Amino acid sequence: MEDEQSFSDICGGRLALQRRFYSPSCLEFSLSCPRITLRSLTAVTCTVWLAAYGLFTLCENSMILSAAIFITLLGLLGYLHFVKIDHETLLIIDSLGIQMTSSYASGKESTTFIEMGQVNDVVINEAIYMQKVIYYLCILLKDPVEPHGISQVVPLFQSAKPRLDCLIEVYRSCQDILAHQKATSTSLEGGDKIISASNRRSHSGMGAYWHRQEDRR
Amino acid sequence: MVLKAFFPTCCASADSGLLVGRWVPEQSSAVVLAVVHFPFIPIQVKELLAQVQQASQVGVTVLGTWCHRRQEPEESLGHFLEGLGAIFSHKPWFQLCRERGSKSWSCKATHWQGPASPAASGEDQVMLIFYDQRKVLLSQLHPPTALPNRQAGDTTASAGGLAAVFDTVARSEALFQSDRFDEGPVRLSHWQSEGMEASILVELAKWAAGPVCLFLACLLSLISAASACRVFKLWPLSFIWSKLSTCEQLRHRLEQLTLIFSTQKAESPAQLMRKANMLVSVLLDVALGLMLLSWLHRKDLIGQLADALIPVADHVAEELQHLLQWLMGAPAGLKMNRALDQVLGRFFLYHIHLWISYIHLMSPFIERILWHVGLSACLGLTVALSILSDIIALLTFHIYCFYVYGARLYCLKIHGLSSLWRLFRGKKWNVLRQRVDSCSYDLDQLFIGTLLFTILVFLLPTTALYYLVFTLLRLLVVAVQGLIHLLVDLINSLPLYSLGLRLCRPYRLAAGVKFRVLEHETGRPLRLLMQINPLPYSRVVHTYRLPTCGCHPKHSWGSLCRKLFFGELIYPWRQRGNKQD
């Protein structure tokens, strides 16, 4: 089943969060970034062409104008193919792993898949970004050497940069699936730990993730 | 608990039968490798699986049943399939079912308790993951961490969930040898059922590779034995060989060719890729060299080059003379010490005169030499570029000499100045303790020391200016040589075969996997498609880079500036030093 909600990102642009619920163990979140606007495109093109015309009046060489057209076209293609992200998708499959896909405006997709065995936890962290303090969702990876240590932090939704309300939605659903996964994996090892693990994980209030971060420090 | 079943896409349209594959208990996943069709004799199936298990060290068993139904469901088939669970006991027992012509699948995994109490059997949810068997068989995972050794056994192969799937498929080659169209006792369906793949050219090349490799290996060993003979180890020759970058490049190529044509088989996929990369690099090199040669001969550029060489050398020498005359006057308005200026200027002018005479002596032989050198381009573009770099070094040898003279003079002056400055302040350098200590000098020592210090200080601008000018010239020549070496290194080290493979067959080099959720209906099991995520180009170049005879400068910018300031000689290309590293 699908549902769509609209949120805003840290700069105030509109974001659309689409959630697809395939089964209790498989969930997909798709966050679409604000599109490229005609206004910004026109502004950039006009600036480049005015600068080229200014150079042309100085140098009297018509190659500059054709070069400016080339540069604008190539720049736009390069921007659409390498820089502008259209939407970011997070797919969580219980007992398999977590997959992040970024789709660019030209249709190119770049995917990363992290196996469930490497995932320690999914948390919301704070960061200082330019002059702001923002929240971001990230995956903590397990350290192969130390069982409870963290080797790497993988941030999610880096281009969309949603605000806390959107992040909490995603966080809650991720924690439900992770809790279920941890419960089944611990049930393979020993029965007593299940109850305590699921009790800890089923906290879905806002205060809970602060707790968890303190534990990790 | 959710179980995972990895199902090959080629078997999705196969007729009903038994599922054969490997069960990985740590991941609760079953990797289906093939489907055994009816009719079969259970004893023969068990024999085949035992053979495959022995050959490939993979625990291949019967995992369950596969039912590809027609429109009318057959009751007897259903009961028959369930009865098979008693013959081939496996926990859990999978029952996959598909309706022909529709996309709805159903799967059950049961823990068979026994024929007496079928009601006590538990059912688990199953997640179906489709994978392309041929691509997974041929691909090679490049995880950030290394996988354990192949020969270590079955248990260690289960480290890393998805790596286990790749490993299982790759090692089960023995299972894929017989097909359902063969006349054997057991009829299997797997990726080869879509059509046996083979290429005549590849088979012929494999067959011919043996004798060709043997012949070329003998030839190369003869050449390397000849080049290692005693004549070349004598002092003048060995010194010259070590300084010329051409010899370095030739040696590097000889080593690479020896490795490519060695009669030993490659032990690991990485070694095979390296051999292939080297071969493609050598072939490209030779092709570019032949193109250069044909271009040179077409326009008769060699003759023109030979005619132009002497005037160019003369012109360079003349420019240097003008420069020295300028230095001997009042360069940039600075006032030089007349006597020292004249001495140094005349010394360098005489050098240039000697150099011009030497060039004029060589002029009748230039064209011959250049023609032979041009022929060497058929050994490769890199050899031609190395020869160009060596020719530049030889033609600018006088600049190198001037730089050395200027640097030594300047270095002496700086050391003298620093030592006398310490004397001026009443200190001394303690060699034993490697530090500056105070010292009491006699009066006459102080007097002479101060006098010498003053002289050196007043002579400093002249020496410094000569040093500066010749260092700049030398750095210019070094920069040009450096660019040529960079190009040579690029051709040497770029892994073109790997890049081509990444472009044309991206599934061969896998960074990981990606999943796509297929059409889902409520009540039906979740179906995913597993595709191979290819390695990005930057990682391909980084992983498969060929080692070069790379004479990279060993010092950083800071130490370079420090050496320039103190007048120590800089050797950008430590060719001889590299061999000992």
Contact B512 A113 (CB under 8 A): yes
- pLDDT band for B74, please (50, 70, 90 cuts): low
Same domain, B190 and B202: no
Decide if B275 is inside a domain. no
Decide if B530 is inside a domain. no
Same domain, B232 and B253: yes
Task: Report the number of distinct structural domains present in chain B.
Answer: 3
B-chain CB neighbours of A2 within 8 Å are: none
User: What is residue A83's predicted lDDT score, i.e. its pLDDT?
Assistant: 92
Which stretches does DSSP call E strand in B177-280?
188-189
Decide if B574 is inside a domain. no
Distances B574 to B232, B249, B484, B522, B580 between C-alpha atoms, Å = 20, 14, 16, 70, 11
Same domain, B72 and B97: yes
Same domain, B188 and B202: no
Compare CB distances from B514 to A111, A115, A144 and report the shortest one's residue: A111
Residue B191, CB half-sphere, CA atoms under 13 Å: how many?
A: 21
Decide if B259 is inside a domain. yes
User: What is residue B53's predicted lDDT score, i.e. its pLDDT?
Assistant: 87
B-chain CB neighbours of A22 within 8 Å are: 517, 520, 526
**Min CA distance, B512 vs chain A (Å)?**
7
Residue B114 gets the label, from left (phi > 0), alpha (psi -120 to 50) or beta, of left
Radius of gyration of chain B (CA): 38
A-chain CB neighbours of B125 within 8 Å are: 25
Residue B66 or B123, more confident: B66
Contact A91 B533 (CB under 8 A): no
Q: What are phi and psi of A171, to 5 degrees?
A: -60, -45
Average pLDDT over every residue of A131-159: 90
Same domain, B218 and B343: no
Q: Is the pTM of this model over 0.90?
A: no
Same domain, B331 and B221: no
A-chain CB neighbours of B162 within 8 Å are: 115
B-chain CB neighbours of A23 within 8 Å are: 520, 526
pLDDT cut 70: percent of chain A above it: 86
Q: Which domains does chain A have, with CATH numbers?
A: 2-36+84-184 (2.30.29), 41-81 (no CATH)
- pLDDT band for B501, please (50, 70, 90 cuts): very high
- pLDDT band for B43, please (50, 70, 90 cuts): confident
pLDDT cut 70: percent of chain B above it: 87
**Does the model's ipTM exceed the 0.95 cut?**
no
Contact A101 B161 (CB under 8 A): no
User: What is residue B333's predicted lDDT score, i.e. its pLDDT?
Assistant: 78
Contact A99 B515 (CB under 8 A): yes
Same domain, B456 and B484: yes
Decide if B531 is inside a domain. no
What would the pLDDT profile of A66-84 be if each residue is shown by its tens digit? 999 999 999 999 999 999 9
Q: What is the DSSP letter of B147?
A: P
Residue B415, CB half-sphere, CA atoms under 13 Å: how many?
A: 9
User: Sign of the C-alpha dihedral, residues A133, A138, A143, A147?
Assistant: positive
- At B17, which CATH number? 3.40.140
B409: Cβ–Cβ under 8 A, 6 or more apart, which residues?
A: B463, B466, B467
Decide if B509 is inside a domain. no
B422: Cβ–Cβ under 8 A, 6 or more apart, which residues?
A: B428, B429, B436
- pLDDT band for A198, please (50, 70, 90 cuts): very low
Average pLDDT over every residue of B510-528: 87
Q: Distance between CA atoms of B80 and B498, rounded to whole angstroms?
A: 50
Average pLDDT over every residue of B273-291: 91
**Min CA distance, A212 vs chain B (Å)?**
27
Q: What are phi and psi of A67, to 5 degrees?
A: -65, -35
B220: Cβ–Cβ under 8 A, 6 or more apart, which residues?
A: B254, B257, B258, B261
Tell whether B1 is within 8 A of chain A (Cβ).
yes
- By CA distance, what is B144's nearest residue in A? A114
B-chain CB neighbours of A101 within 8 Å are: 514
B-chain CB neighbours of A115 within 8 Å are: 160-162
Same domain, B413 and B467: yes
Compare CB distances from A95 to B2, B160, B513 and report the shortest one's residue: B2
Lowest mean pLDDT among A105-119, B148-162, B517-531: B148-162
Domain range enclosing B205? 197-264
Compare CB distances from A95 to B28, B512, B514 and report the shortest one's residue: B28
Decide if B88 is inside a domain. yes
Answer yes or no: are the C-beta atoms of B501 and B82 closer than 8 Å: no
* CA–CA–CA angle B409, B415, B416 (5° rounding): 85
Q: Distance between CA atoms of B503 and B494, rounded to whole angstroms?
A: 15
Average pLDDT over every residue of B447-471: 90
User: What is residue B411's predicted lDDT score, i.e. its pLDDT?
Assistant: 92
Same domain, B28 and B73: yes
Q: Which residues pair with A32 in a beta bridge?
A: A16, A87
B154: Cβ–Cβ under 8 A, 6 or more apart, which residues?
A: B57, B58, B59
* CA–CA–CA angle B303, B306, B312 (5° rounding): 140
Q: A96, A141, A142: which to substitute to probe chain B, counting the most B Cβ within 10 Å?
A: A96
Decide if B521 is inside a domain. no
Q: How many CB atoms lie within 10 A of CB B436?
A: 12
Tell whether B528 is within 8 A of chain A (Cβ).
yes
Pick from B101, B30, B23, B22: which is nearest to B68 by CA?
A: B101
Same domain, B137 and B224: no
- pLDDT band for B150, please (50, 70, 90 cuts): very low
Same domain, B371 and B490: yes
Same domain, B440 and B553: yes
